[in-house]
Structure 1
Amino acid sequence: MPVASRNKLPQENLVSLDHCLIRPFAGLRPRRTDAAAVAAPPYDVLSSAEARQTVIGKPLSFLHVSRAEIDLPPEVDPHAPEVYAQSAENFRRMIDGGVLCRDPGACYYVYRLLMGKHIQTGLVAAASVAAYDSNRIRKHEFTRPDKEDDRVRQIEALNAQTGPVLLAHPDNAEAERLLALATDSPPVTDLTADDGIRHMLWVIDDAASIARISAVFGGMPNLYIADGHHRSAAAARVAAARREQSNASDSAEFFLSVIFPASQMLIMDYNRLVKDLNGLTQEAFLVAVGERYTVRLSPAPVRPERSGVCGMYLGNCWYRLEIRPGRMPLSDPVRQLDVSVLAEQILGPLLGITDLRRDTRIDFVGGMRGLSELERRVNSGEMAVAFAMYPTPMADLMAVADAGQVMPPKSTWFEPKLADGLVSHLLDPA
């Protein structure tokens, strides 16, 4: 799938960009006729059972690479060695069959997502591991070793990064102007996924445009990880291991990313459900909540309109909770988050939930499923109470990252999701 170009930037001319924040790369992409068949949901938004169901009648779905256990018996552990071997085999088969083809020279790509009236346009680039290690690419979340291990094994098995890290950059008019110029021509990929999200991709392969983009984005003080902490951490581990083993390749020092302006990012609510009231009656629980929040019965589901407000569904009723004056910390970027306030005021002292990562009495529901999902799970008796949260603002996420702190688990739910398989980053041999 050669890309027509007047002035390509050859891969061997990239040495001068080694210490940049980002750089272009020769992406591995589906040929135009197969892009819709290849594009798949991110590997971590589906269970194995859901992935098996999703690929029925879809032999080219990238889930055969990202969730290769679907091609093995159901009893096989998704993290067994044979799964990664199957992933590599499926990946190689798609390349050998011409379904996936590598661009002949280093490129940037413009990726546009459309979900209803929401539009966001970002840059696909290889982001620097060195910038990640030095915290120029900033984090806001702890990672789990088992999830890191999974992505490390996947990268090593494929010798490629196939799941992009979602990054945000501070708003920059020149960066947006450069990407807008690239989208004046027809996209090389334009598809609508099963969930109704439209994905569009443009290739930027002329040397002058690449140089301008590298200068503008490379001059940004920081980038922020929105989603993909385990993927970026795994890429850093692979790079460090290859350096230590003296088999480092230049490409391993960068990881696949898509970078959007912060103002275009859409964060949805990430709601909480709890299985029981920790021995309290509903009446006693309401009284205790009322000492911390102003509680008002609501005739309709409560979708919080601002920070400091949350909805609570209990006993077939919705309540609007507004934090009482003096109980909202204002100086700490983590403690003032609505999810932190709920944890400090209700989840911990009233419901006895102090470890949101490990306590099995709490569950989390992303905003795309709606408030009706909270009602359903409480009404079924599975859960005792649900809390509808105000979405964490992007500015708060960046403030936490700038302070070198981490957010509570399940603080952000980004939509729309990037597709797997539209662009992959191959790691060249040392």
Structure 2
Amino acid sequence: MARIYPFRALRYNSSQVRLADVVTQPYDKISPALQQAYYQRSPYNLVRIILGLPELFDQPGDAASDIYARAAGDFASWRRNGILAQENEPSIFAYAQRFAVPSTAGDGEPETLVERRGLIALGHLHDYADGVVFRHEQTLAKPKSDRLNLLRTTRAHFGQLFMLYSDPANTIESLIFTDGAAPEMEVTDDYGVLHRVWRISDPAVIRLVTAEMADRKLIIADGHHRYETALAYAREHAPETMATPHESSPTALPAPPWPEAAAMMTFVNMDSDGLVILPTHRVVHSLAHFDAAVFFDQAKHAFELKQLDTNDTSALLAQLGADRADTTSFLAITTGGATLLTLKPEISSAALAALSPRQQQLDVVRLHTLVLEELLGLTPEDIRQQTHLRYLRDADEAMAQVRTGQADIAFLVRPITLEQLREVAFAGEVMPQKSTDFYPKLLSGLTIYALD
């Protein structure tokens, strides 16, 4: 069962700071330019904690003078000085995001304005083997090490994990959203997304919501690295013996068995409107002796090749999107231009044969198996460690890195569908790293869960 809990959130004090100056995108979506912009907005911007800049006299390995120590120091100082204030009572939060859907097909269609709704609460950290929380993609080694260092020094969760649940009747949303109620927090982010948050402290409503969530299974949409980091930290701090719970009052609100056993999450109904998945493109760099002509000659065995006569990103994505949905297609970008690769139907691979039928049909799986590994020679460990490989949402940026010599070849892909994700996750399987990119992201810093 999915256990969720209300919590006494830390929140930015609106009398001391302006919310737009201090909240951020999730750490892994903060570019160097955005990081600098956040630094300039406020001395209390959350980037200084979740993605601090190194300083001149930092000593490698010196725990007293590194980004994690500064993050912990800033966090403690902001709490002492009232920049961050803690709620008096346990609460959950209704969270709505209104946004224009970015075009991924370059079709020139006007952007559609939609709203995605969710619930912010603590969620119990379950082992995957429990059959409650399901992942859908592999993780990378470096981000988990970084996030664990930050969690150990600050002992707080600053952003929410993005979790999906199924609720065709929309019961939970109907409990937490009230028409006409003014939000307690409202902010527009760097991408024009309007974020609004309502606090819910009514114990009766909280108990109804926790009871409704109890029989749900959860899929991690965004935050696999942070989920696995939090789970590892929970294991580190699990008590050797659990205290016998006292007779609880019928009116008592649920709470984690120990503070580290839960993390802050936003729960979104996968049966409601507003779920948008964008593609994450692959950029391959620093290969020894890469030769585009040799690559395409080898690719002819498995793929039909079609040289495209445009370098316009929108036109290229439109052609990729127009290709048959029942075929595997992606664009290969080299200094010589763009080539559409479409898998020949008769092609088989021993590596693909080892995967389930549902995995074998995924474009991103075929790209990793047949191209990145078999043609370009990247090993699974290379991919886990991000050796020779970058992941980019922006197709223009991926193409620019090839044109400017920062990359050897880029692959533009179509997005995974929600149904594909759901089937893979509930089957207990995983796709390659960075297979999905849910848009928009959940803002970090709206609420904070402090373990102490």
What TM-score results when the alignment is normalised by the length of structure 2? Answer: 0.80
Show the counterpart of 2:8: 26
Q: Secondary structure at the match of 1:406?
A: coil
1:262 matched residue in structure 2 = 270
Deviations 1:282-307 (A, max 9, x none): 44433432332222233344223246
Q: 1:138 to 1:183 in 2, by over 3 A?
A: farther
Query: Conserved in 1, the CA contact under 8 Å of 2:157 and 2:448?
Result: yes
Query: 1:20 & 1:66 partners in 2: Cα distance?
Result: 27
Secondary structure at 1:109 match in 2: strand
Sequence identity percentage:
25
- The offset of 1:60, in angstroms, is 1.8
Native 8 Å contact 1:133 1:236 kept in 2: no
Residues 24-59 of structure 1 show CA distances to partners (whole Å, capped at 9, x for unaligned) of: 222111234532222122223336785345311411
SS at match of 2:28: coil
**Structure 1 residue 158, shift from structure 2 partner:** 2.6
How far, CA to CA, are the matches of 2:85 and 2:242 in structure 1?
A: 25
Identify which of 314, 319, 339 aligns with 1:319.
339
Find 2:296's aligned residue among 266, 272, 286.
286
Q: 1:207 aligns with which of 193, 203, 207?
A: 203
2:81 maps to what in 1? Answer: 97
Deviation at 1:224, TM superposition (A): 0.7
Identify which range, 409-418 or 178-187, moves more after superposition.
Answer: 178-187
Aligned counterparts of 1:184 and 1:28: Cα–Cα separation in 2: 26
Partner Cα separation in structure 2 for residue 409 and residue 84 of structure 1: 26
Q: Do the aligned partners of 1:110 and 1:182 also contact (CA within 8 Å) in 2? A: no
- Report the alpha carbon displacement of residue 187 of structure 1 after superposing the two structures with TM: 0.7
Q: 1:291-340 deviations in whole A, cap 9, x for unaligned? A: 32222233344223246221222344222222221348695333322111
Q: How many angstroms does 1:225 deviate by?
A: 0.9
Distance (whole Å) between structure 1 residues aligned to residue 450 and residue 433 of structure 2: 31
Q: For 1:284 and 1:153, how far apart are their aligned partners in 2? A: 43
Following superposition, the deviation at residue 382 of structure 1 comes to 2.8
RMSD: 3.0
Cα distance in 2 for residues equivalent to 1:253 and 1:75: 33
How many Å apart are 1:133 and its aligned residue?
6.0
Deviation track 1:53-76 (CA, whole Å, cap 9, x = no partner) reads 531141121112223445x43745
Give the Cα separation in 1 of the matches to 2:295 and 2:201: 61
Q: C-alpha distance in 1, partners of 2:425/2:37?
A: 38
Q: After superposing the two structures, state which structure 1 stretch, 412-421 or 288-297, moved more.
A: 288-297
Amino acid at match of 1:421: G
Question: What is the count of residue pairs matched by the alignment?
Answer: 405
Q: Which residue of 2 aligns with 1:413?
A: 437
Aligned to 1:344: 369
Unpaired runs of at least 5, structure 1: 1-18
Deviation by residue 1:63-102 (Cα, 9 ceiling, x = unmatched): 12223445x4374559945433322221122222222222
Alpha-carbon contact 1:69-1:78 (below 8 Å) kept: no
Measure the CA separation in 2 of the matches of 1:160 and 1:314: 44
- The residue aligned with 1:234 is 229
Conservation of the 8 A alpha-carbon contact between 1:165 and 1:256 = yes
**Cα contact 1:79–1:150 (8 A) shared by 2:** no
Structure 1 distance, partners of 2:28, 2:391, is: 15
Name the SS for the 1:418 alignment partner: coil
| 2:384 is the counterpart of 1:357 | yes
Following superposition, the deviation at residue 404 of structure 1 comes to 2.1
Amino acid in structure 1 at the alignment position of 2:262:
F
1:389-428 to structure 2, matched below 5 A, reads: 389-428=413-452
One-letter amino acid matched to 2:162:
L
Q: Is there any run of 5+ residues in structure 2 with no aligned partner, and where?
A: 101-112, 244-256
CA distance in 1, matches of 2:209, 2:407: 50
For residues 244-289 of structure 1, the C-alpha deviation after alignment (integer angstroms, 9 at most, x for no partner) is 4679963322111111122533221111223378757544433432
Give the distance between the partners of 1:347 and 1:390, measured in 2 at CA: 16
| Alignment equivalent of 2:99, drawn from 89, 100, 115 | 115
Give the AA of the match of 2:233: V
Distance verdict in 2 for CA 1:190–1:74, change over 3 Å: farther
Q: Which residue in the other structure is 1:272 paired with?
A: 282
Quote the offset at 1:423 in angstroms: 0.6
CA distance in 2, matches of 1:66, 1:177: 30
Equivalent residue number for residue 238 of structure 2? 243
1:16 corresponds in structure 2 to none
Q: Would you say the 8 A contact 1:69–1:76 is kept in 2? A: no
Structure 1: how far apart are the matches of 2:293 and 2:53?
48
TM-score by length of 1: 0.83
**Equivalent position to 2:187, from 181, 191, 209:** 191
Partner of 2:250: none
Whether the 8 Å contact between 1:278 and 1:352 is mirrored in structure 2 is no
Q: State how far apart, in whole Å, the 2-side matches of 1:226 and 1:77 are.
A: 34
